[in-house]
Amino acid sequence: MAILFTGIKQLLTFAGDNAPRAGAAMRETGLVKNAAVLVEKGIIVAAGPRASVSRHSLAKKARKVEVNGVCLPGFVDSHTHMVFAEPRLKDFSMRTAGASYQDIKAAGGGIISSIGAVRAQGGKAMAAQVAARAARFLECGTTTAEVKSGYGLSLESELKMLRAVRDARDFTPLELIPTLLAAHSVPPEFKGDAQAYLDYVMAEILPKAAAEKLAVFADIFCEKGYFTPEQTTVYLKEAARLGLRPKVHSEQLSNYGGTRAGAAAGAVSADHADHVFAEDIAAMRDAGTIATLLPASNYYLGLSKYPPAREIISEGVPVALATDFNPGTCPCWNMQFVLSAACTHCGMTPEEALCAATVNGAWALGIGDRVGSVVPGMQADLAFYDAEDYRELCYYFGASQTLLTVKKGRVVHPRF
Ligand code: NIG
Ligand code: FE
């Protein structure tokens, strides 16, 4: 049966080009006041002014849901590390006592300290944990999330993580898009030999993940003490050859060249971008790479430096926003907090931030032709918020304002 959502004080459709939005186009929200959205069979049939949507032939018999709030496309969180066995509370205590990311790594914390529990965990328990976390994302209005592996760092455990993402789909309506991040750090067995480990990843893990179709993307952490820009380009080109689309963690802790290395391999997105310079931004623009900013991680790490969103936007590079939800540098699943951090600390306008969290997030996952905007023919992934004005989503912070989350035309929060 069709559903007619009415009582929408403001609807942001993000109607526009079938492409990532850059520059001034990031501020075009497609705002409609006093709106309605009609959905049938999981697809948006009509969206716009209430009076015209109500005249649609399917509207009369549709189930009516009066929402009394603001409607947006469901958030597309294009960067998460949602699969991990345990929170890293020891790292957290060290950080609160003044230790930096590098201090924590040197003391045996950081990414490597997550692998023991992940390797020991059974696949079923892992899938159940992912599904339980997915419920938290849905509560906050996220309808699609990318999920990276990267805390196993062996053939068996990396594939186990990706299979857990696949299997979690039976237990959650959150759409999960898997990314192989075997090149996240060098596991202890390789005794600091990053090249030997990367050779192993390319010979063993990449081909098997690709053959079993366990991942859509391949990602690598390009940073001093992890993997070099040269290794990044070679690895991502090999991933692309095997059918995995490249992504890169780059310029997070220093300007090291990962963004340019990723762009050279045709990366769909370069993520973090805290320390990008003009030549990195130009490389993204020329390669059509999206800059995915993760300011909630800067907040959590207590950094005063945030990614230079204004410069990136003014140079014409499309910007996406994502949580970076992970146990080490960002224990936050709420995209509404990310909106606040982006506006308050990166100088993004509410319009740009909302575009970055929806339509551009979808393009950072290569699915912008199907999700991320509220126009007829798109998947009915919607979220409704307790607000009069869409800017309240970026203004209030610290709690979720979500009233209702709809995935493929079905209400999945709060009733799921
Ligand atoms: O995006 N930079 C590398 N990866 C994660 C951190 C993962 C961790 O510390 O567990 C990030 O910040
Ligand atoms: Fe990350």
Domain count within the chain: 2
Per-residue pLDDT band at 71 (split at 50, 70, 90): very high
Domain range spanning residue 7? 3-73+372-414
In whole angstroms, what is the distance from residue 400 CA to residue 391 CA?
14
Contact indicator for 26, 352 with CB cutoff of 8 Å:
yes
Residue keyed to tokens 């319009």: 351
CA of 325 to the centre of ligand 1 (A): 9
Minimum-distance ligand 1 atom for the alpha carbon of 101 = 9
The reply to whether 358 and 383 lie within a common domain is no
CA of 55 to the centre of ligand 1 (A): 50
Cβ neighbourhood burial of 221 (10 Å; 0-12, 13-18, 19+): buried
CA of 292 to the centre of ligand 1 (A): 14
Verify whether ligand 1 is closer than 6 Å to residue 217 (CB atom).
no
* CATH code for position 395: 2.30.40.10
- Residue 122: predicted pLDDT: 98
Partners of 326 in the β-ladder: 330
**Strands annotated E in 245-390:** 245-250, 269-272, 290-293, 319-321, 382-385
The reply to whether 129 and 243 lie within a common domain is yes
Radius of gyration of the chain (CA): 21
Per-residue pLDDT band at 415 (split at 50, 70, 90): low
Verify whether ligand 1 is closer than 6 Å to residue 109 (CB atom).
no
Task: Indicate whether 396 pLDDT > 50.
Answer: yes
Minimum-distance ligand 1 atom for the alpha carbon of 330 = 12
Minimum-distance ligand 1 atom for the alpha carbon of 91 = 9
Contact indicator for 260, 293 with CB cutoff of 8 Å:
no
The reply to whether 48 and 98 lie within a common domain is no
Task: Indicate whether 211 pLDDT > 60.
Answer: yes
- Residue 268: predicted pLDDT: 98
In whole angstroms, what is the distance from residue 72 CA to residue 387 CA?
11
Q: Whose C-alpha lies nearest to ligand 1, atom 8?
A: 328
The reply to whether 318 and 281 lie within a common domain is yes
The reply to whether 291 and 271 lie within a common domain is yes
The reply to whether 47 and 138 lie within a common domain is no
Contact indicator for 407, 138 with CB cutoff of 8 Å:
yes
Residue 267: C-alpha distances to residues 247, 290, 324, 366 (Å): 5, 8, 18, 11
∠ CA(88), CA(91), CA(93), 5° rounding? Answer: 110
Question: Chain centroid to CA 245: how far?
Answer: 15
Q: Whose C-alpha lies nearest to ligand 1, atom 1?
A: 324
Which residue type sits at 226?
A: Y
Q: What percent of the chain has pLDDT over 90?
A: 99
Q: Which long-range contacts does 325-328 make (Cβ < 8 Å, 24+ apart)?
A: 325/77, 325/80, 325/81, 325/82, 325/133, 326/80, 326/81, 326/84, 326/297, 327/81, 327/84, 327/86, 327/87, 327/88, 327/114, 328/88, 328/91, 328/109, 328/110, 328/111, 328/114
Ligand nearest to the CA of 151: 1
Q: Which of 1-15, 175-189, 402-416 has the lowest mean pLDDT?
A: 402-416
The mean per-residue pLDDT over the stretch 224-238 comes to 98
Q: Which pLDDT tens digit goes with each residue over 239-281? A: 999 999 999 999 999 999 999 999 999 999 999 999 999 999 9
**Strands annotated E in 128-196:** 142-148, 175-183
Q: Which pLDDT tens digit goes with each residue over 30-70? A: 999 999 999 999 999 999 999 999 999 999 999 999 999 99
Q: Which helix (H) or strand (E) holds 241?
A: helix 229-241
The reply to whether 322 and 378 lie within a common domain is no
In whole angstroms, what is the distance from residue 259 CA to residue 87 CA?
29
The set of residues, in sequence order, having a beta carbon less than 8 Å from that of 243 and lying 6+ positions away, is: 210
Strands 402-407 and 175-183 turn out to be unpaired
Contact indicator for 3, 63 with CB cutoff of 8 Å:
yes
**Summary mean pLDDT of the chain:** 98
Verify whether ligand 1 is closer than 6 Å to residue 274 (CB atom).
no
* CATH code for position 170: 3.20.20.140
**What pTM was estimated for this model as a whole?**
0.98
CA of 80 to the centre of ligand 2 (A): 6
The reply to whether 36 and 177 lie within a common domain is no
The reply to whether 171 and 102 lie within a common domain is yes
Contact indicator for 149, 180 with CB cutoff of 8 Å:
yes
The reply to whether 249 and 385 lie within a common domain is no
Nearest to 214 by CA among 239, 251, 186: 239
What are the backbone dihedrals phi and psi of residue 38, each rounded to the nearest 5 degrees, phi first?
-110, 130
Among 111, 250, 332, the mutation site with the greatest number of ligand 1 atoms within 8 A of its Cβ is 111
The mean per-residue pLDDT over the stretch 331-360 comes to 98
The reply to whether 260 and 272 lie within a common domain is yes
CA of 220 to the centre of ligand 2 (A): 9
The reply to whether 382 and 261 lie within a common domain is no
Minimum-distance ligand 1 atom for the alpha carbon of 114 = 10
∠ CA(398), CA(404), CA(405), 5° rounding? Answer: 95
The mean per-residue pLDDT over the stretch 84-105 comes to 95
CA of 89 to the centre of ligand 1 (A): 15
Verify whether ligand 1 is closer than 6 Å to residue 114 (CB atom).
yes
Verify whether ligand 1 is closer than 6 Å to residue 185 (CB atom).
no
Task: Indicate whether 416 pLDDT > 80.
Answer: no
Residue 354: C-alpha distances to residues 26, 30, 76, 373, 394 (Å): 9, 12, 10, 11, 8
